[in-house]
Amino acid sequence: MRVFVTGLGVISGIGTNVKENLKALSEGIHGIDKVTLFHTNLDVPVSEVKLSNSELKRILYLKPEKIHSRTALLGMMAAKEAIEDAKLNIERTGIGFISSTSVGGMDLSENFFTTFREGHSKGRLQNIIHHDCADSTEQIAQYIGHIGFMTTISTACSSAANAIMLGSRLIKSGYLDTAIVGGTDALCRFTLNGFNSLMILDKEHCRPFDKTRAGLNLGEGAGYVVLQSEETISRKPYCEVTGYANVNEAYHQTGSSPEGEGPYKSMTEALRMSGISPREIGYINVHGTGTPNNDLSEGKALLRLFSKEGDVPPFSSVKAFIGHTLGASEGIEAVYSVLSIEKGSMYPNLNFSTSIDETDLSPITSFHQGLDIKHVLSNSFGFGGSNSSLVFSKVEDRL
């Protein structure tokens, strides 16, 4: 059973839809700036969606007084676009909705406890009930009118990649014929302070794969793709999901192994499933967070895998554009990867100047379009050693 991508939807710090995101990527316009959504004593740059919750509700035609987490609102925007793009009849049976997130409704929980600390009789309970990760999935499903199979995945930075994998597996097994898959996450104090405690936030604009890299910039947003079986595709597909793998190396709670054992295995297994050789990959959307540990680990894994058959293919990280969006990361970046196949695009790795000594790898630093890219590898490596890799491929003529 083949799995095709027929719909795309995205919102991030560089745009509220697919068209705006691609335009910003092509023009090198990033979304990194100061925090404005909430008060914080941390002076670090982030990538915020340039819309308030009230503006998001207005665009989505939601009642202003109804409570929704920002995570859910961002997810509604992207999921709606993906469904419309796929020309999908959401009321049909056989459709699944698999959404991922890391913070869930934490933004609302923070609002609750701000008031609750003043007195235990205070605090709006309507805020705290949206705390659970699955609540955002249910809110998005209710908004798009989905009443079929639904589940939530939360595996840190690999969450959305694992959602795409699960959707693909359910289609291949015949349990579903269509799946709306991806992830959504909103910025909040909890995330910002948590990453600050790990001492991996860069106080300047992040520099993935650069020798001077000093940490990541956090971001927010949502990205979803519609997956369909060959028998039920509703429009000409963008591409095909041909390979995927998740490997948990369990090396450390928050870091990858120094030699990149987990990333190497996830990429190797995804390529094996796709049935292609490493030299057939035309572009790699690397995880590339900008932290000293991640980029060195991923770089060593790339060298180990690809140097056997030649050079490492062209690669870049988009996180200097949109920040690290955590549970939404591969939802957004899967959309970019699919567009790489569709439009022959490669995206610039902003702020790169000098290679890491141990790898001597140089990412792409300018935008390319119109290339004949047949296969794209996309990586997402999360906390706890959860490493996921996806392979998107150009659709063969036999369809």
**Residues taking part in catalysis:** 157, 287, 324
Residue type, 230: E
Determine the Cα–Cα distance for residues 16 and 30; give it in Å rounded to an integer. 13
For 390, phi then psi, to 5°, come to -125, 150
Burial 49-71 (b: 16+ CB within 10 A, else e): bebebeebbeeeebeeeebbbbb
Torsion angle (degrees, nearest 10) of CA 329, 332, 334, 338: -160
Here the tokens at position 147 are 């009443």
DSSP-assigned letters across all residues of 348-391: --TT--S--TTT------S-B-S----EEEEEEE-GGGEEEEEE
Between helices 292-306 and 261-274, what is the axis angle to 10°?
40
Q: How far is Cα of residue 351 from the mean position of the Cα atoms in its chain?
A: 21
Q: What is the β-pairing status of strands 315-316 and 46-47?
A: unpaired
Q: How far, in Å, CA of 155 to CA of 382, rounded? A: 7
Residue pair 317/290 in contact (Cβ under 8 Å)? The answer is: yes
**Cα angle 249-253-258, degrees, rounded to a multiple of 5:** 55
Query: Nearest Cα to 203, choosing from 46, 47, 351, 44?
Result: 44
Q: What are the CA-CA distances from residue 29 to residues 50, 210, 317, 336 (Å)?
A: 14, 19, 14, 15
Rounded to whole angstroms, the Cα distance separating 274 from 238 reads: 17
